[in-house]
Amino acid sequence: MDMKSLKKHLSFLTILLLVFCASKFTFAQKPPNIILIITDDQGYGDFGFTGNKHVSTPTIDQLAENSFEFTNFYVSPVCAPTRASLMTGRYSLRTGIRDTYNGGAMMSPDEITIAELLQKSDYTSGIFGKWHLGDNYPMRPSDQGFDESLIHLSGGMGQVGDFTTYFQKDRSYFDPVLWHNNRQESYQGYCSDIFASAAIEFIEKNKDQPFFTYLSFNAPHTPLQVPEEYYQKYKNIDTSTGYESDERPFYPMSDSQKEEARKVYAMVENIDDNLKNLFAKLKELEIEDETIIIFLTDNGPQQQRYLAGLRGLKGNVYQGGIRTPLLIHIPEKLSENRKINTLSAHIDILPTIADLVGIQLPLDRKIDGKSLLPLLIGEVDSFENRSLFSYWNRKFPEKYSNISIQNSEWKLVGKTDYDASIEDFQLYNLKEDPYEQSNLITSKISKGLELKNELDQLYLELISEENLINPPKIHVGNEAENPIFLNRNDASGQRGIWAQEEVYGFWDVKLEPGTYDFKFKFIKPVPSNGKMFLETGAIVNQLQLKSEQDLDIIEMRGVELPKMETELIPFYQVNGKQIFPFWVEILKK
């Protein structure tokens, strides 16, 4: 055997030993700690190691150098679906997640999360930041395996569902009221600093036992708010320059987009500094050699900026909307950067963690993902001919609209009508055309038809899932959450329901029998000459407002309700208008 072959053979054995040790825990006295880090709306190009000329991410760049880097990794086009797949190893539609709001961001409590899976190996689990899979019992982090939780509500701070920060407007990321173990608590400082500090504190508290830390930053999601000292570093930079010699596509940026990029880069640098503190704490506690770190982002950028040539933004099934970095750092095993170009996705994270810890996957449901550990030793056979489905529409999937399927280097994209012919689709060879510039559908009809047939089968399978047909309900009157707050993010009704006043909406609930006090909060005071209605199935309660002044909170006390599953429909009727509450507080007496 020549020297080159010997080195290759030894490298293979090293990685094989790595995977064996990681799976069997012979490298530590206890199972490895796991830190899963995800950022929000940070695109593929928002890192130094992916070619960005302006953003400063030295900590994440160093992590990439010392990790397995998956360069062909995908997530969903938007956040809640990505997080559902991340937590369960399943396509989000199987879990009941179909939207980022409109009642579609509540994951079925029957789903088994990473945290619940790790409970079998006596892990302590904590989440810090964004959950976005249901804000009420039985869908909260504490109901899905997490021992400690510090989160904001809904899809983002400052959004309508996160009513404790919504009214802070341009200060919603600063000094927020957050939810610590399901109770409101006031915090001082900037949100990313708060979440990272809480994660560090959790790690310190649990350093002597295996822990799972889910650090789920809400930045750099809008609103683009950042500490001034970080913004000052970028305020004079033209974020569109520096890429003139790059042969990859660079999409034009308006002046407003350049300014948005400055704020995003400032938010990203703040995240990088927080990760520097976290990794330093691991070293200080002497547990860095016992801790696996996984890093990814949840989708592409919301605003146009540098994207390493990729086409499309958040919400789009083009590469720019769904391709993100994935870094897996397994300590003291490989210091050399290892790039893996095999097709992989968010659905693979749960199976990979289960494989690392040596836990069997649930057998009573379909797990769409695959463990990535075989790829670390070059075993790609089980990943050949693998397909990945992606879609995004409001409320429910729309047939052939913003939908795609990828198999090996081939990708079929539907941006057309439900009855479109194959010629109306787009077909790309990502190996030869990674930036999706050349549609090959007319010359590769047979390949397009092959992928479309697979797309049709998977689409029909997913929209027939039980959790999609019979979505999870919020439990009202349960002792696990009393009082309970119903927020706008989880309200169903008119498509696109958000902060509107005159809009039809309701919450899907499971009511326990009892006597209830209701408190209805409105965005702004309503005229005092109307009636408050509460519809729960066939039971309608109404209250004539008796006040000399306009009110933004209306109360209905002592409402008797039986056990039922129903739509809870509140509205205030006045001057020919029906006004939907911003949130509802319900106390079972």
Q: What is 560-588 written as a DSSP string? A: EE-SEEEEEEEEEEETTEEE--SEEEEEE
pLDDT of 412 reads 98
pLDDT of 334 reads 56
Q: Which helix (H) or strand (E) holds 555?
A: strand 551-561
Task: Name the segment(s) of the chain with CATH classification 2.60.120.260.
Answer: 474-588
pLDDT of 164 reads 95
pLDDT band for position 2 (50/70/90)?
Answer: very low
Bond from prior residue into 220 cis (ω within 30 degrees of 0): yes
Region class of 531: left (phi > 0), else alpha (psi between -120 and 50), else beta: beta
Instruction: Kindly report the number of other CB atoms within 10 A of residue 467's CB atom.
Output: 21
Yes or no: say if 507 and 492 are a contact pair by the CB < 8 Å rule: yes
pLDDT of 301 reads 98
Yes or no: say if 83 and 133 are a contact pair by the CB < 8 Å rule: yes
pLDDT band for position 3 (50/70/90)?
Answer: very low
Task: Name the segment(s) of the chain with CATH classification 3.40.720.10.
Answer: 3-383
CA separation (Å) from 47 to 42, 59, 269, 340, 518?
Answer: 9, 10, 9, 18, 48
pLDDT of 15 reads 44
- Per the prediction, the chain carries an average pLDDT of 94
Least confident among 15-19, 51-55, 224-228: 15-19
Query: Is the predicted pLDDT of residue 179 greater than 70, yes or no?
Result: yes
pLDDT band for position 336 (50/70/90)?
Answer: low
pLDDT band for position 408 (50/70/90)?
Answer: confident
The CATH classification of domain 474-588, taken from the options 1.10.510.10, 2.40.50.140, 1.10.3720.10, 2.60.120.260:
2.60.120.260
pLDDT of 546 reads 84
Query: Is the predicted pLDDT of residue 21 greater than 80, yes or no?
Result: no
pLDDT of 376 reads 86
Q: Tokens at residue 48, please?
A: 């130094």
AA identity, residue 68: F
pLDDT of 19 reads 47
Residue 32: exposed, middle, or buried by beta-carbon count in 10 A (0-12, 13-18, 19+)? buried
Please give the CATH architecture assigned to the domain spanning 3-383.
3-Layer(aba) Sandwich (3.40)
Q: What percent of the chain has pLDDT over 90?
A: 90
pLDDT of 6 reads 40
pLDDT tens digits, one per residue of 195-245: 999 999 999 999 999 999 999 999 999 999 999 999 999 999 999 999 999
Query: Is the predicted pLDDT of residue 370 greater than 60, yes or no?
Result: yes
Residue 142, Cα to own-chain centre: how many angstroms? 17
Distance CA 44, CA 313 (A): 10
Yes or no: say if 163 and 146 are a contact pair by the CB < 8 Å rule: no
Query: Is the predicted pLDDT of residue 256 greater than 60, yes or no?
Result: yes
pLDDT of 28 reads 52
Query: Is the predicted pLDDT of residue 283 greater than 50, yes or no?
Result: yes
DSSP state at residue 26 = T
pLDDT band for position 26 (50/70/90)?
Answer: very low
Query: Is the predicted pLDDT of residue 290 greater than 50, yes or no?
Result: yes
Distance CA 586, CA 589 (A): 10
Please give the CATH architecture assigned to the domain spanning 387-467.
2-Layer Sandwich (3.30)
Does the pTM of the predicted model rise above 0.85?
A: yes
Distance CA 261, CA 23 (A): 41
Report which of 541, 580, 543 is spatially closest to residue 559, judged by C-alpha positions.
541
CA separation (Å) from 103 to 16, 78, 175, 257, 505?
Answer: 45, 15, 28, 31, 10
Q: What percent of the chain has pLDDT over 70?
A: 94
Task: Name the segment(s) of the chain with CATH classification 3.30.1120.10.
Answer: 387-467
Query: Is the predicted pLDDT of residue 24 greater than 50, yes or no?
Result: no
- Tell me the average pLDDT across 8-25: 44
pLDDT band for position 377 (50/70/90)?
Answer: confident
pLDDT tens digits, one per residue of 113-171: 999 999 989 999 999 999 999 999 999 999 999 999 999 999 999 999 999 999 999 99
- Tell me the average pLDDT across 249-266: 97
pLDDT band for position 354 (50/70/90)?
Answer: very high
pLDDT band for position 10 (50/70/90)?
Answer: very low
What's the order of all strands across the beta sheet hosting 583-588?
484-487, 583-588, 514-526, 551-561
Distance CA 268, CA 201 (A): 22
Q: Which helix (H) or strand (E) holds 64?
A: helix 58-65
pLDDT band for position 12 (50/70/90)?
Answer: very low
pLDDT tens digits, one per residue of 445-493: 999 999 999 999 999 999 999 999 999 999 999 999 999 999 999 999 9
Q: Tokens at residue 556, please?
A: 């209905």
